[in-house]
Structure 1
Amino acid sequence: MDRIFANRMEAGRALGQLLRAYAKREDVIVLALPRGGVPVAFEVAAALKAPLDLLMVRKLGVPWQEELAMGALASGGALYVDRRLMREADVSEPEFERVLAEARLELARRETLYRAEHPAADVTARIAIVVDDGMATGATLHAAVRALRSRAPAKIVVALPVAPPDGRARLGDAIDEYVCAMTPRMFFSVGQFYRDFDETTDDDVRTLLASAFKPQRP
C-alpha cells in the first residue's frame, strides 16, 4: 500500500533518510524549488546538516488547468516547453506567450521577495541536491536542472517524495542521480499522497529561509 505523507515536512524527513550518504559533507548543498519544495528541502537540509538555498523556477500551467505543466521557466532564462502536451491541450502560441510573460513577472517578484540580502549560493563543483514536493509531468524540474547545469555543479541529484513510475526516465540525462521515496503505479497527482497539501505561502517560504540562513553556532 502506498504511503500518505502527513505534510511536506514529514515527506522531507523521509527523504532525508534516503539521502543519508550525503550527510555532513562540505561539498553538498540542498536546493529547493519554491514554493512547495521549500518545506521538504528544509527538512532534507536539516537531516544532512547541509546549507539550503533556492533554485528559482516557475511552472507554465495550461491556462484552463494550471496544475498541468506545459513547461517551466527558471532564473537566468532557462526554458523548457512540452510541445506535445501543448498540442494535446490545444494551447495556442498567443496563449502560451501570455502564460510565459506572466511567469517572468512572478519569477522576478519571488526572486526579490525571497532572496532579500541573500544572493544565490555558489554551486560550482558542489553536489547539488534539488528538492521538490513531488513530480507530475517533470517540466518544472527540467527547466530547473537545465538552469542549474549552466552553473557547473559537480553533480545534480534530484530528490522527491513522490513521482510517477517513469519519473527517472522523464528527466533523462539532465541529471546524475535520482532519489524518490515513492513511485506509485496509480499516480494521478502529487497531492493525492499528502493528507495536508495546502499551498505553501510566501510567508511560509520566508520564515523557513530566515531560519535556514541564520548563522549556526559552532
Structure 2
Amino acid sequence: MFFIDRRDAGKKLAEKLSVYRGEKIFVMAIPRGGVPIGYEISRRLQVPLDLIVPRKLPIPWSPEAGFGAVAPDGTVVLNEELLAGLGLTDREISDIAEEVLGEVRRRLRTYRGDRPFPDLSGKTVIVVDDGLASGYTMIAAVRALKKQDPKKVIVAVPVSPASAVKKLSQEADEVITLHTQPFGPFAVASFYESFPDLTDEEVMDLINESLSMARS
C-alpha cells in the first residue's frame, strides 16, 4: 500500500504538480473517487476545482467490467479489441451508451445544479482520478475536455498500470503518476489502506467547500 486514503494520495500528487503553480490551471476531478484527490490538489495549488463525469460502458453479463466509456457531451470511446470478442450488436452498444449517458447527466444535475460548466479556453486542465484501470474512462474525459479549447490537458493519477499510461500518453499532453505498475494483475484499491465507496453527498460537500474557499 502506498497511500493512507484518497486525501493522502491527493496531497502527494499535489507535490508533484507544484511545478505548475502560477499557471492558469483548472483541476477537473472524475467522481466519485477522483474528487478527494482533486480537492487536495486544488487546495494546495490554490486553483479552481470542478467535475468531469465520464462513466464506463458495462458489459451486460459482467457489469463490473467495461468495454468503453461515455462523457457528458456524448463522447464515446470503445475498446475495439475487447468488443470484437463480445458479440454485441451496434444497436446494443448504442442502447447501453444511451442508458449510461442518462446516468451521467443525472449525476451532473445532482453535483452541479444550475452552475454552468467552467470556461477552460486557454487554461491548463489537470484531470484527476484515484487511479486508472483500462484507461478508457479517462480517455473519454480527455477527449471531451479537449473540445473546450484548453491550452493543454494533463492527466494526473496516483497509480496506474503501464498499459493505461501508454494509452493516455497518446491522448493527453502529459500523464503524471506517482506509481506505474509495469505488468501483472492491477487493482487501484490495493494501493490504499482505506478505499471506501463515496456517496454523492460526500462529493458535493468537497465541491462546495472548494467553492467556498475560492470565494473567500
- Fold conserved between structures, TM > 0.5: yes
Which moves more between the two structures, 120-129 or 98-107? 98-107
Gaps of 5+ in 2: none
**Equivalent residue for 1:174?**
171
State the 1:158 CA deviation.
0.3
Question: Contact 2:23–2:124 at 8 Å: present in 1 too?
Answer: no
- 2:81 matches 1:79: no
**Equivalent residue for 2:208?**
210
TM-score (norm 1): 0.91
State the 1:217 CA deviation.
6.2
Distance 1:212 1:98, change over 3 A: same
Gaps of 5+ in 1: none
SS across alignment from 1:134 = coil
Distance 1:217 1:72, change over 3 A: closer
Matches within 5 A, 1:136-151: 136-151=133-148
The separation in 2 between residues aligned to 1:132 and 1:77, in whole angstroms, is 20
Q: Residue type of the partner of 2:210?
A: A
Q: Runs of 4 or more off by more than 4 Å in structure 1? A: 89-95
Distance 1:166 1:64, change over 3 A: same
Find 2:61's aligned residue among 56, 60, 64: 64
Matches within 5 A, 1:42-53: 42-53=39-50
Distance 1:73 1:22, change over 3 A: same
Find 1:17's aligned residue among 15, 18, 22: 15
The separation in 1 between residues aligned to 2:54 and 2:179, in whole angstroms, is 23
Question: Contact 1:68–1:137 at 8 Å: present in 2 too?
Answer: no
SS across alignment from 2:121 = coil
Question: Contact 1:69–1:140 at 8 Å: present in 2 too?
Answer: no
TM-score (norm 2): 0.92
**Equivalent residue for 1:134?**
131
Find 1:103's aligned residue among 90, 94, 100: 100
Question: Contact 2:169–2:175 at 8 Å: present in 1 too?
Answer: no
Q: Residue type of the partner of 2:57?
A: L
The separation in 2 between residues aligned to 1:82 and 1:71, in whole angstroms, is 5
1:130-165 per-position Cα deviation (integer Å, ceiling 9, x unaligned): 001110111001111111111000011000010002
Matches within 5 A, 1:154-193: 154-185=151-182, 186-193=184-191
Q: How many residues align?
A: 215
Question: Contact 1:191–1:197 at 8 Å: present in 2 too?
Answer: yes
Question: Contact 2:48–2:214 at 8 Å: present in 1 too?
Answer: no
Which moves more between the two structures, 13-22 or 89-98? 89-98
SS across alignment from 1:96 = helix
1:187-210 per-position Cα deviation (integer Å, ceiling 9, x unaligned): 422112122222121111111111
Q: Quick one: percent identity of the two aligned structures?
A: 36
Q: RMSD over aligned Cα, in angstroms?
A: 1.8
**Equivalent residue for 1:4?**
2
Question: Contact 1:62–1:91 at 8 Å: present in 2 too?
Answer: no
- 2:193 matches 1:195: yes
SS across alignment from 1:143 = helix
State the 1:66 CA deviation.
2.8
The separation in 2 between residues aligned to 1:158 and 1:12, in whole angstroms, is 13
